[in-house]
Structure 1
Amino acid sequence: MIQQSIVKIVAQTSLGHVQGSGVIIGDGEYVITNAHVIDRAVGTIEVSLHPESGPRLLTDGQVVFKSDDIDLALLKIEDSLGKPIEISRTLPNLGDSLILGGFPGIGGETLTATRGTVAGFQFDGATIKFDGQLGSGSSGGAAVNQQGKMVGIATRSSGEASAGSLGILLSAPVVSAALATELLENFRSEAMRIDSQYPLSILGIPAVATVLDGWDTSVTIGYFDMRAPNTTTAFLTEDYLVVGIFSMDRTPNETPKDILDRLIAESEGAYEIVPNSGIRPPIGFSNCVLVHNDERFEMSRFDARGTVVGAWWVSVAGLYSRFCISQTTQTTIIGFVESPSSEVSNDNRRWLAPPTIVLIK
């Protein structure tokens, strides 16, 4: 799988060329890498895919986003090369086995894959310590879990003898948070979309969102929400309203009801089902539940591993939250509405008229 998603990057500089690695994401027309790989590029950035057999595939890349603060860059490539990688929404567990793919300088023209484990975390999970080999040229390559999902990208070696020269990975949640907005807006620009509609397929969600003027959005890979003015998780106001959607891997034999039951159980008593709510699932969804938050419900990146919400989550006490499930063969889609009013949270117009999120089958 990683052979189809990890590319070699060569950037020409005034002092010669810099070699690194990158990962195909989005709809297949974008590549992520480290900012330091392309930082001094003065000409064309060469991006190439190297299959196990046959000739390499070559195209040019253009920088559309770069952050030196977190050492991350997003390239738009002229021609599609391979298959976009799936990005994990959650952090791995300590001791998990990972495979790191990249193009270290000593690895020749073919992809090099090394095994290692998660040796620890830094900065509240922003970076992951990796005990596998990470050579010069590996920067920007993907570390994937046993499901083939990217959990981080190689950034640097610790360089500390006492630490055994651990590799440092920028974690997938941080990559997602930093790039998702840029990826979505660039995708909208390419499609000449200047209105309020947001095609979420670039984030891995088969849906289109319509956002009202004045509303804020929160975006990561696999997650999108829109928030009414004066909506904050610091305290509850009568104007509070969030409409959102996120995706998770589908577990074999787990039904929509099983997922909703698990979501409620994982809240550890914060969510209580509202009886006799008379919910009719919106178009494209099969099962829904309306719950009331009796107390503030919050999960950290670490707490959310393996849960339905899957990532950092905050729900304010006093809210009514409606969750609805849709499933494909491989993915579960969860739509939600949060409001201090049970009537608003349970109103199908929140799913059928702006602000709204409509599934695309």
Structure 2
Amino acid sequence: MRNDFFEKAASEILNARNLSKEIITNEVKSIFGETLLIAGAGSLFAGYGNSESDIDVLVIVNTENKLSQLPIMSYKNEERIDSEFYTLQDIESTISSLKNQSWPPPNSITRVEWELYFRCIQNLSRFASSKVIYISEDSQFKHRALDLLKEFYSDWFRKILCDWWNLEAVRFKLIADYIKSEDILLGCLKLSDSIQYLLSKEVASQGEVFMGRKWLPMKIEKTGNKNLMEIYKQSLDVPVTRKEAEEYYISLEIIYDQLCEINNLDNICIRFEFSQGVENWSISEETLLSKWRLRHLTLKDVPSGLLNNGYSCKLSEEHPSIKKLLVNDMVWAGLYIDKVNS
């Protein structure tokens, strides 16, 4: 794999903004240690950004210290450059972890676990859709850096992305089904999200691995698939009346069945836990719930597990209180595989 090819691709994008790879390199080199790789990332380098887009830069450095994201600015060119710094060990460890981790996880899931997994694949998707600006000539590290690039562009990562989008589509479809009897218009919004996750899966399978969801129509356009674009437009045509909602829901369910690749849900369980900002108080035989003390709800028969650490159930089970909590955005729902009873 020739790094001069990648550097040329990055240079063309930077030149359009009156920048150069030398300017970027001088901004970020030697801040935290020896720079091993600099890559232009984000929507601009993935091919979806515009003249107003910030320039995102991913930097891999040779250090054992903990690193964090820092914004830097090229004042001379009046361009904002957001940079994220990683160690080579960080990236290699993330790749190894994803390769050896099954998703959805077995026997349980928490919101924190979901967020960590999402963050891992999101970070790698930024590398996978990036353009290389600089690679160290140090022979000790250059080989490892090039091996990383091969990992980002490999089929295994594309499959992980597709599996992620597919499961998110299932998750939102289940939420939509769960709440549609309580609020079908909100159910339609959740089903619309589900369809767009399936479309993200379709374009990821064709190489569009950048995860920015707001760029979905441009990703679809790059694939040249007119059918996917029509489905996307249909998903956005969210109804405003109950009669329209029922027709809309049925039409999107047909599309869902055509695109979703997870058909057997027998061993799938769903786990609920309170969303961030939710507090609860026991008042007589009822539970008062508040989200950020701005939205309030009073319920009977809230599952005791939810009040403690979380509430899990089979997909066939329904709980009226959970429905109301979902409608009011007070619980998070995650999926896991029941290995114990399978």
TM over 0.5: no
Q: Which has the larger radius of gyration?
A: 2
Greater percentage in strand: 1
Greater percentage in helix: 2
TM class by shorter chain equals under 0.3
TM-score, with structure 1 as normaliser: 0.23
The one of the two structures with greater contact order (alpha-carbon pairs below 8 A, sep at least 6) is: 2
